[in-house]
Structures are given as C-alpha cells and as structure tokens.
Amino acid sequence: MSYREAAGWKVWKTMQQNQNDNIENSPVTIENSPVDVVNSSIDFESSPVDIKNSPGSIESSAFNIVNSSVNSENKPEISEKNYKILGLLIILFALLIRLYNLGERVFHHDESVHASFTLKILNTGQYTYDPSYHGPFLFHSTAIVFHYLGINDTTARLIPVFFGVATIPLLFLLEKEIGKRGVLWSAFLLAFSPSMVYYSRFFRNDSIIVFCTLATVAGGIRYLENLHSIKRYPYLLLVASSLAIAVSSKENAYLVILMFGAFGGLYLLYRLYSEWKTENLSLKKTLLLKSSAFLPFLPELVLSAALFFLIAMMFYTSYFRYYTTPFEVVEKAFSHWMEMHRIQRLGGPFYYYVPILLLYEIPILFFGIVGIIHFLRKKNKNTAFFLFLSYWAVASLLLYSYLQEKVPWLVVHIVLPFGILAGAYLGEFFSRVPDNRQTDNKQTEQVSEAENGSSGSGKKPAFKVDSSRVRTLIAGILALTLMISLFQCVSVNFYKSMDPNERMVYTQSSPDIRELMKKIEGFNKNPDTLTLCVLDPNDLYWPLPWYLRDYKLASYFRKPPSNLKYDAIIAPVEYKMYREISENEYASYNFTLRPGRDFILYYKKGLE
C-alpha cells in the first residue's frame, strides 16, 4: 500500500470512529457521504476514487478553489413558486429601468437617421436597403409603433426596449443546463447590466440581435432535446424566425451564424469520429448510418429554411413591394462591411472593449471568466453546453476585438455569453451550504497530517483550505463588483447618459439641442411658415432633421445658397455668417451639436 493510500486508510478509520461516537453530529454521515463507508467494498489498491482528487481532500480543494466544494452539500432546490416570483420581479424591474425617463436623452446621430428612415416608410412606403444603416426590421417595426402610439423620442425607442426585456425570459429555457439559481442570477446580471440597459434604451439594432442570438441558442438546445417529440416544432419555429429577424436587423448576424456554425461543424465531426472509432465500422458505413438518421428531419428543416427566407425577404422587400434577391442583400452587406474593416473607418486597438468591460461589467467579466475555468474543469452531463458557452464568450471577445469597426454598443454581444456563464457559476456556487462543524475541521487536519507524515509530531500542516473563508471571499467580491456595476448602471443611464467622458457614450448629441428647440419653438412663426436653412459641409447636422421634422420649409445645404433670405439659419461657427448676412437684422444663439461641433443659430430679431 502506498503512502498516500495509507493516509486515506487512516482517514477512513477516523471516519468510522466518529460515526460510532456521534452519528447525528458528524458531517460525514452514511446518508450524505460521497463514499458509503459501511456498504462500500472499495479497495484502495484498485478503486477509481483517488484520495488526491476526492471532493473532500485538501489537495482537491486547494487546487480548485473556484469549485469551493470542501465540506459542503447542495441546498434544496428553490421552490417553483419562488422561482417564478423572483423571475417575474427581475423582468418587471428590467422593464421599469428601461422605460423610466426613456425620452430624456437627446437623439444620437444614428438614432435620428434611423428615425428619419422610419418616417419615410410610414409616410411614403419607400425603403431601400443601405448596409451603412443596417437592416430593415427596426424601421418597419418602429413604423407600426409610430402609427399607433405617435412620433417622438420615447416611442422610437420602444422596439429596442421590448427586445431588451424579452431577452431575460429566454434564459428560463436554459434551466436544465444552468439550474434555477443559475437562471435567476443570469437574469439579474443581464437585467441590470449597464451596457444592456443603455443600449436597450437606444434606437439601434443591437438589443434585437442579442435577443435573436439567445433565442437561437435556447431554441436550438430545446429542439435537440425534444428531437423525437412533437414538442420540438415550436423551438424550430423560434430558431428560424429569430435568425430571420437577426439577418433583417444587422449584419453582425452573419458573424453569429458563422461562429455558431463553426462550433456545430467541429462538434459534429468530433462526434462522428468518436462513434466511428467506437463502433469499428468503415468510414463510409458510419457516414451512411448517420445520414440515414438525419433524413427523417429533412422536411421540417427545409420548411423552416423556407420560413427563414420568407420572413427575411418580407422586410428587405418592404412587404414585397420592391424587388431584390437574397444574393443581392448578402453581397451588399459583406462588400460594405469588409470595406469598412479594410479602411478601418472606426478603427481602434485590439483591447478596445476590455476597458469598457472592466469599467461597467466587472461582475459579469470576473465571474464569467471564473465560470469558464470552473465548468471546463468539471465533467458532467452539461459539459458540451458549457464548452459551447465558453467558446461563444471567448470567440465573441476575440472576433469583435479583431474587427476594425470599434464602437461601444457592440460590447453587448460580448456581455451576453459572459453574463450567462457568470450567472450559471454563481447559481451553482451559492447552491452549496458550507458545513464547518468541529468534527469536520478535525478530519481536515488529519488529512493534512497524513499527507505530511507528521501525525502527532506537532508539525503544522502545509496548507489548509477553509471553505467558509473561500465563500466569504467570493461573496465579498460579488458584493463589491455588484455595487460598482449597479452604481454605473444608474449613473450612465440616468445622470451621465450624454456625458462625452463616459466610455459608453459615443459621439452623443448635446443636451443643448433641447434648448435650441425651445428657442425655435418660441418664435412668433409656426412650423408651417418659418423658413429655415441648415448648413454643414459634410451633411453632419444630424439629429437636427429629426427635431425639425415638423418645419415644412426647412432646407439643408452643404454650402450657403446664393439667396439667404431665411427667417433662421443654422451653420457651423467657422462659417462666420455675418459676412453674408446683416448683423443688424439677425441675432445669434450659440450651441453645441455634439462634442467638437459648435453651431450658431442666426435668426431675425423680429421673431422674438
């Protein structure tokens, strides 16, 4: 018998003695012990249970602190009633925090362009796909909102809010993989994530893509689970429609499809190779067997692909009013964004997203990384799922870091998989109850002494892991990072949402525009009669066209027209319009359009 096994034998004898002395108080009982001492016929010479890697051993705990499984047992699973109540509360608060004061922030440049496209669809029915401003789904869906709820900053942002909130209940489809506590933790982290909240309150496509990505993952997993049941059909519809909405919303949907497809292809090849080696069949026969197993599902997959193309082309053709083909759409998308990547239109360093994650998403980033380490070391029935989740998180971070289109709203596509990993880890970590009774501590010391060959010699053990301290440390890190993240969430969304010093805020329009509109609305001419001229050499006067949408006589130029007989003129400060118009006739009002872009409103003095 080896030295280590002798140490294990000594622990076993001690456990027997403690069991006989105090069976009710001992933390290692017959019912709860991972190894049934009485009934087991384990031979330490041949047993697959290694003392070094045993869940209760010192070495296992010391080298796997993220597991923190020393002297712990699982808590009873959360009741279904409490699970639903907590889930509904998280969804409700996610909705409230996204709706509160939704129209307060001035429209960003991109928001105003998107809103103008939407108005054009609403008023004229005209739409042409321009990959610079992404896909048609956002414009067509918001046009319906405008029709029924009116046209303003708040209603324009309702579609992103809807998809931002709808992402949360999708997590409940992953209950079998990450557990009820994992679902609740993931929902909480993503519901109050500063970036998730900020860009759910932003008239852009990214919250839609986040929803569709998670719907594809969750729906795909549940489809495969119910592969031989009629329950699979709703999940197949969810996947097909989600992918269709995704490619109709933004071009990074193609990246998601390629990323998931690469993992799926590699995983299938691995499974095929493994089964080929196991079954001892020829490669050709193995391929035929697997293909024949796939054939019964071919009709429904073809129909779901048809549904995908039907939904996508319905939006790209503006409800089948204009002709285009899927090939034209894909070619436009890839050629435009590959060129933007090549010229580095909005380039940045490879680590561009890391400071954003550290500043705003520290609990998701930290516990997401810990979750990757933990779940990849732990082998169970969900290993394949967590392998995929880890791949998704790391691949997203690397892919968006590589692409030379660096903008802060893309960080939400990195936050999503890390948030699920973090929630899954926290759900599992806090499902364990530490047991720090005295007898348990004695056993820990005895194992340490046996490892060092110093029983009764008075020597201290080389090291000793106290699981309660590990839990306290993890809980402390969680509390601190959550406080920082929640503070950032409130700050960047409600107090500094237009502060150019915030990393989340990117070329945001100035709050001066609100004051400008009050000034113009105070003129003694109404929107139907006020003549207005807006100048900018590069057409970078947005979001002014959105806020001046009711002024029928507003005109936009790159340089001053020959006839400047307008009631009001808006121009960059460098134009020095008093060389063209009379200072005695026109008063002036200075304002900032966005950081670094200062303008002047010139208006006839008789308007006040």
pLDDT of residue 535: 94
**Distance separating alpha carbons of residues 385 and 27, to the nearest angstrom:** 33
Average pLDDT value for residue range 375-397 = 93
Estimate to the nearest angstrom the gap between the alpha carbon of 213 and the chain centroid.
Answer: 9
* 133 falls within a domain: yes
Does residue 105 share a domain with residue 236?
yes
Q: What is the pLDDT of residue 26?
A: 41
**pLDDT range class, residue 466, cuts 50, 70, 90:** low
Single-letter amino acid code for the residue at 160: P
- Same structural domain, 400 and 538: no
Residue 223 has pLDDT above 70, yes or no: yes
State pTM to two decimals: 0.83
Contact between 205 and 134 (Cβ < 8 Å): yes
Same structural domain, 180 and 328: yes
Say what the pLDDT of residue 239 is.
98
Contacts (Cβ under 8 Å, ≥6 apart) of 301: 236
DSSP 346: B
413-422 pLDDT, tens digit per residue, is 999 999 999 9
As a whole number, mean pLDDT of residues 95-115 equals: 96
Domain boundary at 428, 463, 482, which? 428
| Predicted local distance difference test score (pLDDT) of residue 433 | 56
Instruction: Name the amino acid, one letter, at 64.
Output: N
Note whether 196 and 323 are same-domain residues.
yes
In this structure, of 38-52, 181-195, 568-582, the range with the lowest mean pLDDT score is 38-52
What does the pLDDT average to over 28-36? 38
Q: What pLDDT score was predicted for residue 41?
A: 37
Structure token digits, residue 198: 């900020």
Whether the per-residue pLDDT at 518 is higher than 60: the answer is yes
Average pLDDT of the segment spanning 193-217: 98
Partners of 13 in beta bridges: none
Cβ distance 359 to 503 under 8 Å?
Answer: yes
Q: Write the CB contacts of 325 (distance below 8 Å, at least 6 apart in sequence).
A: none
Q: Which residues pair with 589 in a beta bridge?
A: 601
Residue 197 structure tokens: 């909240």
pLDDT in tens, 43-85: 433 343 343 344 333 333 333 433 433 333 456 678 999 999 9
Domain end (from 373, 397, 428): 428
pLDDT cut 90: percent of the chain above it: 70
The mean of the pLDDT values for the chain is 85
Q: State how far the Cα of 190 lies from the Cα of 415, in Å rounded to an integer.
A: 8
The phi and psi torsions of 594 (rounded to 5 degrees) equal: -155, 170
- Rounded to an integer, what distance in angstroms lies between the CA atom of residue 111 and that of residue 203? 5
Task: Check whether 447 has a pLDDT greater than 50.
Answer: no
What are the C-alpha distances in Å from 460 to residues 31, 229, 277? 32, 60, 51
Domain that holds residue 407: 80-428
Nearest CA-CA partner of 170 in 162, 400, 364, 98: 162
Average the pLDDT over each of 140-144, 352-356, 378-382, 439-443 and give the range with the smallest value: 439-443
Residue 531, in any domain of the structure? yes
Task: Give the Cα separation of 90 and 242 in Å (integer).
Answer: 23
- 598 pLDDT band, cuts 50/70/90, is very high
Under a CB-based contact definition with an 8 Å cutoff, are residues 603 and 568 in contact?
A: yes
pLDDT at 14: 52
Work out the number of other CB atoms within 10 angstroms of the CB of residue 55. 15
What is the rounded CA–CA span in Å between residue 24 and residue 239? 52
Residue 226 lies inside a defined structural domain of this protein: yes
399, two tokens? 């892919």
Domain assignment present for residue 65? The answer is no
Nearest alpha-carbon partner for 425 in 217, 186, 210, 196: 186
The token pair at 57 is 């051993």
From the list 361, 386, 356, 358, the residue with the least C-alpha distance to 372 is: 386
Higher confidence at residue 253 or residue 72? 253
Matching residue, tokens 């893309």: 410
Which is nearest to 58 in space by CA: 433, 379, 445, 376? 445
Terminal-residue alpha carbon distance, the chain? 100
Q: Which residue has the higher pLDDT, 446 or 573?
A: 573
Whether 320 has a pLDDT exceeding 90, the answer reads yes
Last residue of a domain, one of 368, 396, 428: 428
What are the Cα distances from residue 201, in Å, to 98, 415, 607? Answer: 6, 16, 36
Return the beta strands (E) in 28-127 as ranges.
72-74
Q: Tell whether 162 is covered by a domain.
A: yes
Distance CA 143, CA 168 (A): 25
pLDDT 10s digits, 368-379: 999 999 999 988
Burial zone of 214 (CB within 10 Å; 0-12 exposed, 13-18 middle, 19+ buried): buried
pLDDT at residue number 201: 97
Assigned domain for 549 exists: yes
Q: Give the pLDDT score at 328.
A: 95
Q: Are 109 and 594 in contact (CB under 8 A)?
A: yes
Question: What pLDDT was estimated at residue 293?
Answer: 82
pLDDT recorded at residue 321: 93
With a cut of 60, say whether residue 531 has pLDDT above it: yes
Secondary structure (3-state) at 138: helix
What is the residue type of 274? S
**Cα–Cα distance for residue pair 600/579, rounded to 1 Å:** 14
Q: How many CA atoms lie within 13 A of 15 on its CB side?
A: 20
Query: How far is it, in rounded angstroms, from Cα 71 to Cα 437?
Result: 9
Helices (H) and strands (E) in the chain, counts: 23, 7
| pLDDT value, residue 483 | 97
User: Is the domain of 348 the same as that of 216?
Assistant: yes
147: pLDDT strictly greater than 70: yes
Query: d(Cα 404, Cα 407) in Å, to the nearest integer?
Result: 9
577 located within any domain: yes
**Mean pLDDT to the nearest integer, 390-396:** 97
pLDDT band at residue 282 under the 50/70/90 scheme: confident
278 with 376, same domain?
yes
Whether residue 12 lies inside any domain: the answer is: no
Question: What is the distance between the alpha carbons of residues 524 and 509, in angstroms, rounded to a whole number?
Answer: 27
Task: Please give the DSSP secondary-structure letter assigned to residue 47.
Answer: -
Do 232 and 329 share a domain, yes or no?
Answer: yes
Number of domains in the chain: 2
